[in-house]
């Protein structure tokens, strides 16, 4: 691969304190470097353009059983988004759930180069990897669901944290994932009987542990294993009016846990916070309680969040929170898929249409923006839509414009339900506009920081970083974002260049190369005798209760073409 | 101004042609040579219209309303005739293949022969007349959609196949002969009138009206009798349903 | 014991959708000589039987042995010049082969479809209409106390299903096994499955839809409108069944081709799913199609992530178009739309209607299969392949969408389906490269 120099662009690299400087970026052997010999290099003239590190997706549902079940259930969604194959590209389908090719291409067109799939049911992990291996261009990784793990809950009940660590390590390795993920902890087991948990101190049937206990124990384990990211949590009671209390209780449930590594303060990442910030008591009087979340995040370091920004229009909701999807189904009576996964977790899917005429949708739309506008430290909040739950990820450019332009927000607020008065968008948020530097944080820098992928070369452009770069058609010197939201939308929708590992993959918004990226995995090492003790218990579960033999359970190495093992920083107790 | 385009197949074909581009909307404002060059799909190959059809253009027109297209002869291997048209007229002097008048928004299509499946699928407006018989899914929606046809009128002079008006939301479908299985399946609005017989009419319906005038009707067990009413001068039994759909089955079914 | 003898445990049976992964085999001198724990059907497949010996091309009505390269070249030529090729089968091979096959279909602008067309395609359409409240089989094993088999005779089609996942198995909350469960069979006739049921409800052929609607009406408090008898089932029995369903702690409906292939086909399944959905107002209830071939489910998965749709996908216009009834193989063939066909890992010769076969006999047909079968009788090019799951490894999806890797147990002199399709694809690209 030829060396590359991206010349004269305005560079936004917030993790290296570069808030928009005229600067050249050199890439050699796929990595950013100080200097190269210009005469042998591919030269990209970025004069009058914005240059950022490649985008990083911290939470989206892009591959695996749920995503594919959603595709299968919605041929009408596939048909609406069809794009014929090109010389280089395969046919695309989907308008809220994309086929594997469209997923890779669409992210790349927006300048994204690293993607994380946020929910892998362990038993079905093989499926997730089959799809990840077909998504072109980006580097990828995945989060394994440990929320309702039978043996895990038994260990927690018995206070066997050491074994819980060994169990977590086994599941990370067996599923080839790299983050411990929790969706409706304890609640999915209750949903196995058609019930649910609402409060963090309720006990799940039979196993008699609470969401708070589950999260506290796993947070401890996460730090002992020295995983790069904190535990990643979809709190209980998602989407219900008045749920902000449950959310804060969840945050407090892990407050006593100390970070296991010095390069991260967060203990818990609360995903799609928008869905967890409601006041009121029913669908009519629901109101924004974003302030409660904002204040908490502004004054605590152990919790970080992503937005889960909702946008109006048609999309598909899919989550491991099967009980919540059933609640949505009861409201809309639209088609509904549920798939509970034995001994582990659940899931549900329904199509949804968010309307600005609906009170709750309007409040939801406002809350995500409020969080991003009002949280002071933009490295504590990441831009997401919980794709495709609150909106497809293809809406990111519009969300960026809404955050950068109060004029655009004011315009949109004219066409929404009067419930907007029960939000902070018209009041506290009035006039607040994010800068391109803020945007560079919430779309890449923050993600890399929260995932602890800075050292691994993501989310920044210092020498040694991956040669993942996005060049957007915005001249910061001339941009008046407030008055030109359309320019922002168009620029972020179609990068002029997306460069992945030093290779141009998108030019003028079109895919020009489709290399295959790496898949990040974590392989925690566990003390042998501890591991043996855990395996005896786990074998019991397989012999009697799983429907698959233990020998056939772990994802075989043939499923990953380019695995990349991330370094861990384990504590003494486990290694 | 008016333009008449006559299309006649050059030879009998096995692999179907997909002629969704041959509409008044696409022909209006074009010169003869441009019309002849409009591409249609033949299997996996895109070819100029005049490679497959003898194309005869008479007059000219700026807007679709002034365009009349005559498909001359047997078109039973030509799919998507008149798909998405917004205005103007199409006459087919023979049979048509699937999806005739699908997604149609306006104008008029007359099929002198029979139509295969999905005639008038997802229709929004305009008029579709099938003088012969029609296949399955007349005036239905696409797979997975909650709402199918949303407007316009479909008339079938002969018999229709199964699932007439599946997912029907608005508009009217008249079958002058018999209908097959489950006309009005899962419909949520609009009206279906069947002069002949039908099996399990209105199954799963939420709203709208199904009228079956023939003698030979297999009824769903989940409709509630609601007296009698005079429909088009004939006294008919009125039913409400489909009551299998909890709390929402509020359609009306009239039978003799 | 023979010194060459090896025992392999945790073998996955590549036959039916139960995808049992607890089989033990003994291998001697590169041959499988003993199979333990599989049912008779599975055992006979794993032990192996007569194979196609050599690639063949039909000349003057006779299949003549040719080199592999020649057969691949001929196949590529046929596909490359077709206007509407059909690539059908796929249900008894690996997902890796599926991926290659879909790529080939995209390259040649063809229709790609699997055996769902003649079994559970209607279930797919039903899921697209109303969704599917379901779960993995272990969930049923551990929790279910009411099991309903509707139009599916698993004791024959999936012999170990009941002992591994449903009626007989002991589970965490069902330590008593069979005693802890109430088993209902609903079918048009007495089958071997009815023997093990607590209750058999006989429905008249073609009346399942009405019976399902009647059950839904009971749940909706509209029992008063029901006649005394629906589809041959007395109203009392309907009321009792509805009550039993509501009272279950965890109920499941397994359904088979009795539902999908009788009158009103996919709508029977729509109604069964709608019933299941309604039951969740009262308790926990799930439903699951009894998928037949061991990887019919896997093909649906792969085609969906590749194109957005699970079967019957027409790629002729460069994007995917899915419309069962039009793009389904039997319809394409009955209507005589396609001008060539590649048949892999399935046997339409034995399962398709006469009209379809008549068209197949008129067009060039390529067969890729380990075994000689009725399809071979009219194939123009025949390429023998390794048996996936015995001689080649790869991914398969169980009927509940759980992916399991099937093994390579012994070597084969033949290439895998994946390799063969890849060779054909490369040849096609070579031929078309000129254009
Ligand atoms: S039940 Fe099916 S998968 Fe299991 S052994 Fe028998 S044929 Fe094989
Ligand atoms: Zn999510």
CATH at residue A45: 2.30.40.10
Check if B146 contacts A (Cβ < 8 Å).
yes
Q: Report if residue A496 sits inside a domain.
A: yes
B244 touches chain A (CB under 8 A): no
Between the CA of C304 and the centroid of ligand 2 the distance, in Å, is: 21
Q: In whole angstroms, how far apart are CA C303 and each of A93, C82, C202, C311?
A: 12, 22, 37, 7
Pairing of strands C85-89, C111-114: parallel
* Count of alpha carbons within 13 angstroms of residue B179, beta-carbon side: 35
Are A99 and A89 in contact by the 8 Å Cβ rule? The answer is no
> What is the average pLDDT score of chain A?
96
User: Measured on CA atoms in the order A460, A464, A470, A472, is the torsion positive or negative?
Assistant: positive
Query: Residue C278 and residue B246: Cβ atoms within 8 Å?
Result: yes
In this prediction, residue B254 carries a pLDDT of 97
Quote the pLDDT of residue C4: 76
Which residue's alpha carbon is nearest to atom 7 within ligand 1?
Answer: C42
**A127/C280 CB distance under 8 A:** no
Q: How far is B205 from chain A (nearest CA, A)?
A: 14
- Using a CB–CB cutoff of 8 Å, tell me whether B223 touches chain C: yes
Tracing tokens 């609360």 back to the chain, one arrives at A270
Check whether residue C300 and residue C278 sit in a common domain: no
With both helix axes pointing from N to C terminus, report the angle between A528-544 and A150-157 in degrees, rounded to the nearest 10: 120
- Using the Cβ of B200 and the Cβ atoms of chain C, whether some distance falls under 8 Å is answered with yes
Long-range contacts of C27-31 (CB under 8 A, 24+ apart): C27/C409, C27/C410, C28/C2, C28/C4, C29/C4, C30/C410, C30/C411, C31/C410
| Cβ atoms within 10 Å of C109's Cβ, excluding its own | 21
- What does the pLDDT look like over A552-568, one tens digit per residue? 999 999 999 999 999 99
Long-range contacts of residues C194-199, Cβ cutoff 8 Å, at least 24 apart = C195/C155, C196/C155, C196/C162, C196/C167, C197/C149
Is A20 among the domain residues? yes
DSSP B38: -
Point out the residues of chain A with pLDDT beneath 70: 573-575
The distance of Cα B106 from the centroid of its chain, to the nearest Å, equals 12
Give the range of the structural domain holding residue A12, as residue numbers without chain letter. 3-53+458-511
Q: How far is CA C332 from CA A75, C110, C347, in A?
A: 20, 11, 17
Beta carbons within 8 Å of A262's beta carbon, 6+ residues apart: none
Q: Is residue A551 part of a domain?
A: no
Determine, for residues A342 and C138 on separate chains, whether the beta-carbon distance falls below 8 Å. yes
C-alpha dihedral over A374, A378, A380, A381, to 10 degrees? 70
* Smallest CA–CA distance from A330 into chain C, residue: C281
The CATH code of the domain that includes C278 is 3.40.228.10
What is the nearest CA distance from B59 to chain C, expressed in angstroms?
A: 32
| Residue A33 domain-assigned (yes or no) | yes
Whole-model pTM: value is 0.97
Q: Is C146 in the same domain as C256? A: yes
The Cα of C185 is separated from the nearest Cα of chain A by a number of Å equal to 23
Ligand nearest to C-alpha A233 = 2
Query: Tokens at residue A420, please?
Result: 């907007």
CB-based contact A482:A404 (threshold 8 Å): yes
| Nearest CA, atom 4, ligand 1 | C20
Burial category of A87 from C-beta neighbours within 10 Å (exposed 0-12, middle 13-18, buried 19 and up): exposed
Beta bridge partners of C403: C397
| Closest approach atom of ligand 1 to CA C161 | 1
How close, in Å, is residue A129 to chain B by CA atoms? 27
The CATH number assigned to the domain holding C310 equals: 3.40.50.740
Q: Is C9 on the interface with A (CB under 8 A)?
A: yes
Q: Which residue of A71, A336, A547 is in closest CB contact with C308?
A: A71
The range of the structural domain enclosing residue C33 comes to: 5-46
Instruction: Pick left, alpha or beta for residue A454 (phi over 0 → left; psi -120 to 50 → alpha; otherwise beta).
Output: alpha
Neighbours of chain A (3+ CB pairs under 8 A): B, C
Q: How many domains does chain C have?
A: 3
Which residues lie below 8 Å from residue C296, measured CB to CB, with a gap of 6+?
A: C17, C91, C114, C115, C116, C119, C120
Q: Is position A311 within any domain? A: no
- Three-class SS state of C248: coil
> Nearest residue on chain C to B45, judged by CA atoms?
C83
The answer to whether B146 contacts A334, with C-beta atoms less than 8 Å apart, is yes
> What pLDDT does A570 receive?
85
Question: Residue B49 and residue A243: Cα distance in Å, rounded?
Answer: 61
Cis peptide bond N-terminal to B242, omega within 30: yes
Q: Is residue A82 part of a domain?
A: no
Which of the ligands is closest to the CA of residue C158? 1
Last residue of a domain, one of C46, C63, C79: C46
Please identify which residue in the block is written with the tokens 């003799």: B256
pLDDT (mean) for B79-95: 98
A and C: number of Cβ contacts within 8 A: 186
Pair C309, C285 in one domain:
no
Q: Do B144 and A333 touch (CB under 8 A)?
A: no
- The radius of gyration computed from the CA coordinates of chain A, to the nearest angstrom, equals 22
Instruction: Please report residues of B whose CB lies closer than 8 A to that of A334.
Output: 146
Domain boundaries, chain B: 114-255
| Closest-CA residue of chain C to B248 | C220
Secondary structure element (H or E) that encloses residue A348, with its range: strand A348-354
Query: What's the pLDDT at C1?
Result: 54
Q: How many helices (H) and strands (E) does chain C have?
A: 16, 22
Q: Is B39 helix (H, G, I), strand (E, B) or coil?
A: strand
- 10-residue mean pLDDT profile of chain C (435 residues): values are 83 96 96 95 92 96 96 98 97 97 98 91 94 97 97 86 93 95 94 88 96 97 96 97 98 94 93 97 96 94 98 97 96 97 94 94 97 95 97 97 97 97 97 74
Angle at Cα C183 formed by Cα C178 and Cα C184, nearest 5°? 170
CA of C110 to the centre of ligand 2 (A): 36
Domain boundary residue among C248, C272, C289? C289
Angle at C258 between CA C255 and CA C263, to 5 degrees: 120
- The secondary element (H helix, E strand) that includes residue C241 is helix C235-247
Q: How far is the CA of C402 from the centre of ligand 1 (A)?
A: 15
Residue C299 in tokens: 């093909």
d(CA C236, CA C234): 5
Note whether B94 and B110 are within 8 A (CB): no
Ligand 1 atom with least separation from CA of C38 = 5
Q: Is the CB of C84 less than 8 angstroms away from the CB of B220?
A: no
Mutate to test the interface with C, among B244, B247, B248, B253 (most CBs of C within 10 A): B244
Q: What does the alpha-carbon distance between residue C311 and residue C163 come to, in Å, rounded to a whole number?
A: 31
State whether A99 and C164 contact (CB < 8 Å): no
- Provide the domain count of chain A: 1
Strand (E) or helix (H) holding A114 = strand A112-120
Q: Are residues C105 and C136 in the same domain?
A: no
State whether B145 and A76 contact (CB < 8 Å). yes
Q: Which of C164, C394, C403 to mutate to test the interface with A (most CBs of A within 10 A)?
A: C403
Chain pair A-B, CB pairs under 8 angstroms: 14
Candidates B15, B223, B245; nearest CB to C84: B15
Rounded to whole angstroms, what are the CA distances from C325 to B135, C200, C292? 11, 33, 21
Q: Which two tokens stand for residue C91?
A: 């249900």
In tens, the pLDDT along A374-400 reads 999 999 999 999 999 999 999 999 999
Query: What pLDDT is recorded for position A574?
Result: 67
Question: Ligand 1 pocket by C-beta < 6 Å: which residues?
Answer: C 13, 15-16, 18-20, 38-39, 41-42, 158-160
What pLDDT digit, counting tens, does each position of A209-257 carry? 999 999 999 999 999 999 999 999 999 999 999 999 999 999 999 999 9
Q: Which residues of chain A make contact with B144, given a CB cutoff of 8 A? A: 73-77, 335
- b/e code B187-213 from CB counts within 10 Å (16+ = b): bbbbbbbbbbbbbbbbbbbbebbbbbb
Q: B40, B22 in Cβ contact below 8 A?
A: yes
CA-atom Rg of chain C in angstroms: 23
Judged by CB atoms closer than 8 Å, whether chains meet at C267 and B182 is answered as: yes
pLDDT in tens, C101-148: 999 999 999 999 999 888 888 999 999 999 999 999 999 999 999 999
Measured distance CA(A256)–CA(A251) in Å, rounded: 10
**A420 φ, ψ to 5°?**
-55, -25
- Sign of the dihedral defined by the CA atoms of residues A441, A444, A447, A450, in that order: negative
Q: Which of A117, A20, A166 is nearest to A474 (CA)?
A: A20
Q: Do A74 and B248 touch (CB under 8 A)?
A: no
The answer on C82 and C38 residing in a single domain is: no
**Contact (CB<8Å) C306/A99:** yes
User: How far does residue A171's CA lie from ligand 2's centre (Å)?
Assistant: 20
Closest CA to C10 of C396, C411, C406: C406
- Rounded to an integer, the average pLDDT of B9-21 is 96
- Tell me the per-residue pLDDT of A430-468, one tens digit each, with 9 for 90 and over: 999 999 999 999 999 999 999 999 999 999 999 999 999
Instruction: Please name the residue of chain A whose CA is at the shortest distance from the CA of residue B142.
Output: A76
Q: Are A489 and A398 in contact (CB under 8 A)?
A: yes
CB < 8 Å from A in window 331-390 of C: none
Q: How far is the CA of C396 from the centre of ligand 1 (A)?
A: 14
DSSP-derived 3-state class of residue C210? helix
């Amino acid at each position: 691969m030829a060396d590359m120099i991206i010349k004269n662009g305005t560079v936004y690299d917030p993790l290296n304190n570069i808030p928009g400087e005229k600067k050249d970026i050199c890439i050699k052997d796929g990595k950013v470097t100080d200097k190269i010999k210009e005469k042998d290099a591919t030269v990209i003239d970025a004069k009058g353009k914005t240059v950022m590190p490649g985008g990083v997706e911290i939470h989206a549902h892009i591959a695996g059983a749920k995503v594919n079940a959603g595709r299968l259930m919605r041929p009408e969604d596939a048909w609406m988004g069809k794009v014929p194959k090109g010389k280089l590209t395969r046919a695309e389908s989907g308008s809220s759930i994309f086929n594997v090719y469209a997923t890779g291409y669409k992210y790349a067109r927006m300048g994204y180069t690293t993607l994380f799939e946020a929910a892998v049911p362990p038993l079905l992990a093989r499926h997730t990897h089959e799809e990840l291996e077909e998504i072109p261009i980006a580097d990828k990784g995945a989060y394994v669901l440990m929320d309702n793990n039978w043996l895990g809950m038994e260990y927690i009940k018995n206070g066997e944290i050491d074994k819980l660590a060994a169990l977590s390590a086994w599941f990370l390795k067996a599923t080839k994932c790299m983050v411990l993920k929790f969706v409706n902890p304890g609640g999915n087991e209750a949903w196995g009987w058609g019930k649910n948990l609402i409060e963090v101190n309720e006990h799940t049937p039979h196993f008699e542990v609470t969401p708070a206990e589950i999260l506290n124990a796993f947070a401890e384990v996460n730090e002992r294993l020295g995983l790069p990211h904190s535990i990643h949590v979809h709190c209980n009671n998602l989407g219900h009016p008045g749920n902000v209390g449950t959310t804060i209780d969840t945050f407090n449930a892990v407050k006593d846990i100390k970070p296991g590594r010095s390069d991260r303060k967060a203990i818990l990442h609360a995903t799609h916070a928008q869905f967890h910030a409601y006041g009121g008591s029913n669908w009519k009087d629901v109101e924004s309680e974003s302030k409660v979340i904002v204040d908490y995040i502004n004054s605590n370091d152990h919790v970080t969040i992503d937005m889960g920004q909702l946008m109006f229009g048609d999309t598909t909701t899919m989550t491991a929170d099967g009980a919540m999807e059933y609640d949505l189904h009861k409201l809309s009576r639209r088609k509904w898929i549920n798939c509970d996964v034995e001994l582990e977790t659940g899931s549900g899917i329904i199509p949804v249409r968010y309307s600005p005429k609906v009170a709750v949708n309007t409040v939801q739309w406002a809350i995500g923006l409020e969080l991003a506008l009002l949280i002071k430290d933009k490295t504590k909040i990441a831009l997401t839509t919980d794709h495709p739950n609150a909106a497809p990820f293809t809406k990111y450019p519009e969300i960026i414009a809404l955050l950068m332009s109060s004029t655009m927000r004011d315009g949109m607020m004219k066409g929404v339900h009067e419930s907007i008065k029960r939000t902070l968008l018209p009041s506290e948020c009035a006039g607040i506009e994010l800068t391109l530097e803020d945007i560079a944080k919430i779309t890449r820098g923050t993600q890399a920081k929260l995932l602890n992928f800075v050292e691994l070369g993501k989310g920044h452009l210092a020498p040694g970083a991956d040669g993942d770069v996005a060049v957007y058609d915005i001249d910061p010197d001339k941009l008046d974002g407030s008055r030109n939201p359309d320019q922002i939308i168009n620029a972020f929708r179609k990068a002029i260049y997306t460069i992945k590992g030093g290779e141009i993959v998108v030019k003028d918004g079109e895919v020009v190369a489709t290399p295959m990226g790496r898949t990040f995995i974590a392989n925690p090492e566990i003390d042998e005798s501890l591991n043996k003790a855990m395996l005896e218990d786990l074998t019991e579960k397989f012999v009697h209760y799983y429907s698959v033999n233990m020998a056939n359970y772990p994802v075989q190495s043939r499923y990953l073409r380019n695995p990349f093992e991330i370094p861990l920083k384990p504590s003494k107790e486990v290694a | 101004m008016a333009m008449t385009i006559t299309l006649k197949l050059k030879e009998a074909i096995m692999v179907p042609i997909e002629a969704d581009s041959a509409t008044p909307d696409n022909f209006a404002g074009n010169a003869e040579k441009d019309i002849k060059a409009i591409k249609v799909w033949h299997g996996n190959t895109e070819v100029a219209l005049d490679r497959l059809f003898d194309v005869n253009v008479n007059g000219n027109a700026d807007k679709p309303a002034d365009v009349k297209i005559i498909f001359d002869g047997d078109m039973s291997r030509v799919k998507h005739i008149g798909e998405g048209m917004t205005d103007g007229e199409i006459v087919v002097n023979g049979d048509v293949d699937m999806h005739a008048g699908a997604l149609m928004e306006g104008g008029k299509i007359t099929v002198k022969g029979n139509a295969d499946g999905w005639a008038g699928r997802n229709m929004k407006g305009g008029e579709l007349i099938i003088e012969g018989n029609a296949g399955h899914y007349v005036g239905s929606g696409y797979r997975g959609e909650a709402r199918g046809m949303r407007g316009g009128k479909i008339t079938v002079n002969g018999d229709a196949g199964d699932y007439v008006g599946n997912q029907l939301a608005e508009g009217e479908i008249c079958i002058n002969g018999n209908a097959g299985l489950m006309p009005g399946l899962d419909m949520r609005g609009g009206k279906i009138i069947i002069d002949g017989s039908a099996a399990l009419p209105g199954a799963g319906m939420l709203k709208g009206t199904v009228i079956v005038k023939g003698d030979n009707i297999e009824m769903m067990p989940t409709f509630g009798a609601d007296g009698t009413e005079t429909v088009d001068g004939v006294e008919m039994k009125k039913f409400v349903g489909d009551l299998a759909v909890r709390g929402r089955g509020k359609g009306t079914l009239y039978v003799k | 014991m023979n010194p060459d003898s090896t025992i392999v445990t945790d073998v996955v049976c590549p036959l039916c959708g139960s995808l049992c992964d607890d089989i033990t085999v003994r291998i001697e001198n590169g041959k499988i000589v003993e199979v333990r724990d599989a049912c008779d059907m599975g055992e006979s497949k794993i032990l192996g039987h007569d194979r196609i010996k050599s690639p063949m091309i039909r000349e003057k009505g006779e299949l003549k042995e040719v080199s592999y390269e020649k057969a691949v070249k001929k196949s590529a030529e046929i596909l490359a010049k077709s206007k509407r090729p059909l690539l059908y089968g796929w249900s008894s091979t690996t997902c890796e082969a599926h991926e290659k096959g879909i790529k080939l279909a995209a390259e040649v602008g063809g229709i790609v479809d699997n055996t769902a067309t003649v079994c559970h395609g209607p279930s797919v359409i039903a899921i697209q209409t109303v969704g599917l409240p379901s779960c993995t089989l272990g969930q049923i094993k551990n929790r279910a106390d009411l099991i309903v088999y509707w139009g599916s005779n698993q004791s024959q089609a999936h012999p170990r299903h009941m002992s591994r996942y449903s009626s007989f198995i002991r589970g965490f909350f069902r330590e008593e096994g069979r005693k802890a469960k109430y088993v209902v069979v609903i079918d048009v006739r007495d089958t071997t499955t009815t023997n093990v049921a607590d209750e058999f409800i006989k429905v008249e052929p073609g009346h399942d839809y009405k019976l399902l609607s009647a059950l839904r009406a009971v749940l909706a408090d509209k029992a008063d409108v029901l006649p005394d008898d629906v589809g041959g089932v007395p109203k009392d029995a309907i009321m009792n069944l509805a009550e039993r369903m509501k009272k279950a702690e965890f109920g499941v409906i397994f359904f088979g081709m009795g539902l999908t292939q009788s009158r009103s086909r996919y709508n029977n399944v729509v109604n069964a799913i709608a019933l299941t959905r309604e039951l969740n107002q009262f308790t926990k209830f799930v439903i699951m199609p009894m998928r037949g071939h061991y990887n019919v489910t896997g093909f649906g998965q792969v085609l969906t992530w590749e194109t957005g749709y699970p079967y019957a996908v027409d790629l002729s216009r460069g994007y995917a178009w899915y419309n069962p009834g039009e793009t389904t193989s039997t319809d394409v063939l009955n209507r005589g739309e396609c001008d060539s066909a590649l048949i892999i890992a399935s046997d339409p010769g034995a399962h398709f209607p006469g009209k379809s076969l008549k068209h197949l006999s008129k067009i060039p047909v390529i067969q890729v299969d380990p075994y000689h079968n009725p399809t071979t009788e009219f194939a123009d090019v025949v390429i023998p392949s390794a048996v996936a799951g015995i001689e080649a490894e790869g991914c398969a999806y169980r009927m509940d969408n759980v992916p399991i890797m099937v093994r390579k147990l012994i070597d084969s002199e033949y290439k895998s389906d994946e390799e063969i399709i890849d060779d054909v694809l490369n040849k096609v690209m070579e031929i078309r490269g000129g254009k």
